[in-house]
């Protein structure tokens, strides 16, 4: 998430880091390598990096950056992003706000709670609805942003409301309709004309009671399915392209004979064609080139233009996508 203002030239990371520590009490680090904060394990450094441990710190860090016009980028678990090898200019805030509360049939989570933890916490409470979270290695905030979904469910199906810090600094509880949740989409992906993204601070899920055995069976089924179908254990960002409904991106890529296609240290997974994997310590540049190549080849063969589900973050310079031959 990057504000249009606050360019790198005016960015004094040392002074700003000192001010953040003094005003908000959050330590920062400079030139922090970001690859380890992503599931694809790629990407260069952040000029300045801070971890928010609760919603208060998250709110304060975002408000601080906005008030200074500082470029700032929010990271959850980095499971739906590709960060440029040149890194990210300005402040990167990693959301580790992981408070979680269950009352009756309601689960309230801060935005940094991993979806898998939301799934297991609701299991322990005998509540059903969030089992699909086990398949999503991201945070509640990232899942609301994406309207993440798996195994016939989505965030939209269980979300009662999300607490959102608006671009104007106000805070509100938004319903799924107000969030514009749609297939892997939400209004959070489309900042207004000022380009200041909204931030999810937390979410409230409405769940249904179910027997422990029923929930356990569902979780095990999800685990089995993933192990069978996804290249787990090899760094990836999950499904690389959106499904051009009613088609499946994986089927189109497979049909174009692109499984195993390699550029440098990255390749199209042999197990799941819509997973691009960092299997030999590649670079972000390799991966974006591979993505361009796959998109161009699928378009050439089928006329269908795939669109990335993953977002590119950071300093990509003047990237020129490969055109269909």
Ligand X SMILES: Cc1cc2nc3c(=O)[nH]c(=O)nc-3n(C[C@H](O)[C@H](O)[C@H](O)COP(=O)(O)OP(=O)(O)OC[C@H]3O[C@@H](n4cnc5c(N)ncnc54)[C@H](O)[C@@H]3O)c2cc1C
Q: Which residues are catalytic?
A: 184, 239, 309
Q: Does 100 bind ligand X (CB under 6 A)?
A: no
Instruction: Tell me the closest approach of the beta carbon of residue 206 to ligand X, in angstroms.
Output: 19
Q: How many residues bind ligand X (CB under 6 A)?
A: 33
Nearest alpha-carbon partner for 47 in 81, 14, 85: 14
Largest pairwise CA distance in the chain: 58
For 308, phi and psi rounded to 5 degrees? -65, 140
* Tokens linked to 250: 């994986």
- Measured CA to CA, the distance from residue 183 to residue 310 in angstroms comes to 14
Q: How far is the CB of 300 from ligand X (least distance, A)?
A: 27
Q: What x-and-dash track marks residues 106-125 binding ligand X by CB under 6 A?
A: -----x--------------
**Is residue 156 involved in binding ligand X (CB under 6 A)?**
no
Could you give the CA distance from residue 291 to residue 78 in angstroms, rounded to a whole number? 18
In this chain, which stretch among 78-86, 205-213, 241-249, 294-302 interacts with ligand X, using CB under 6 A? Answer: 78-86
Distance CA 181, CA 95 (A): 21
Pick from 80, 131, 286, 308 the residue near ligand X by CB under 6 A: 80
Which tokens hold the place of 129?
């609805």
Residues 131-150, one symbol each (x = binds ligand X by CB under 6 A, - = not), give ----xxxxx-xxx-xx-xxx
Angle (nearest 5°) at CA 151 between 218 and 254: 130
Site for ligand X in 30-69 (CB under 6 A): 39
Closest to ligand X by CB, 59 vs 295, is 59
Which residue in this structure is represented by tokens 């799924």? 176
Q: Say if residues 294 and 288 touch (Cβ distance below 8 Å).
A: no
Please tell me the number of Cα atoms within 13 Å of 58 on its side-chain side.
27
Out of 167, 210, 261, 311, the residue judged to bind ligand X by CB under 6 A: 311
216-235 residues near ligand X, rule: CB under 6 A: 230
C-beta of 20 vs 196, nearer to ligand X = 196
CB 311 → ligand X: shortest distance, Å? Answer: 5
Q: What whole-number distance in Å separates Cα of residue 248 and Cα of residue 292? A: 18
* Residue 203 engages ligand X in binding (rule: CB under 6 A): no
Interface positions, 251-310, toward ligand X (CB under 6 A): none
Strands 236-239 and 275-277: antiparallel
DSSP 222: H
Binding mask 162-181 for ligand X (x = CB under 6 A): --------------------
At residue 233, the 3 state secondary structure works out as coil
Scan for tokens 């470029």, then name that residue: 71
Contact between 28 and ligand X by CB under 6 A: the answer reads no
* Residues lying near ligand X in the complex (CB under 6 A): 1, 39, 74-81, 95, 111, 135-139, 141-143, 145-146, 148-150, 188, 199-200, 230, 236-238, 311
């Amino acid at each position: 998430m990057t504000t249009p203002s606050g360019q790198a030239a005016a960015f004094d990371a040392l002074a700003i880091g000192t001010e953040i520590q003094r005003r908000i009490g959050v330590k920062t680090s400079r030139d922090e390598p970001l690859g380890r904060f992503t599931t694809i394990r790629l990407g260069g450094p952040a000029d300045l990096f801070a971890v928010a441990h609760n919603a208060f710190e998250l709110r304060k860090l975002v408000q601080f950056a906005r008030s200074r016009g500082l470029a700032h980028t929010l990271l959850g678990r980095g499971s739906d992003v590709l960060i440029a090898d040149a890194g990210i200019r300005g402040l990167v805030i990693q959301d580790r706000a992981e408070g979680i509360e269950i009352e009756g049939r309601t689960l309230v989570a801060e935005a940094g709670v991993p979806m898998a933890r939301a799934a297991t916490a609701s299991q322990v409470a005998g509540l059903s609805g969030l089992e699909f979270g086990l398949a999503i290695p991201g945070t509640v905030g990232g899942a609301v942003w994406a309207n993440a979904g798996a195994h016939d469910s989505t965030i939209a199906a269980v979300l009662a409301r999300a607490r959102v810090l608006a671009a104007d600094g106000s805070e509100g509880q938004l319903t799924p309709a107000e969030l514009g949740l749609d297939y892997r989409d939400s209004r959070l992906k489309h900042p207004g004309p000022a380009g200041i993204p909204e931030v999810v601070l937390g979410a409230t899920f409405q769940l249904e009671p179910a027997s422990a055995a029923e929930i356990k069976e569902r979780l095990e089924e999800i685990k089995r399915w993933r192990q069978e179908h996804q290249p787990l254990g090899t760094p990836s960002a999950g499904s690389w392209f959106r499904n051009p409904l009613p088609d499946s991106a994986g089927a189109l890529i497979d049909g174009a004979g692109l499984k195993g296609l390699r550029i440098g240290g990255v390749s199209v997974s042999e197990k799941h064609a819509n997973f691009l994997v960092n299997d030999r310590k590649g670079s972000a540049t390799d991966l974006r080139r591979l993505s361009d190549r796959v998109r161009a080849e699928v378009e050439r063969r089928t006329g269908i233009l795939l669109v990335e589900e993953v977002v590119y973050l950071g300093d990509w310079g003047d990237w020129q996508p490969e055109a269909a031959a």
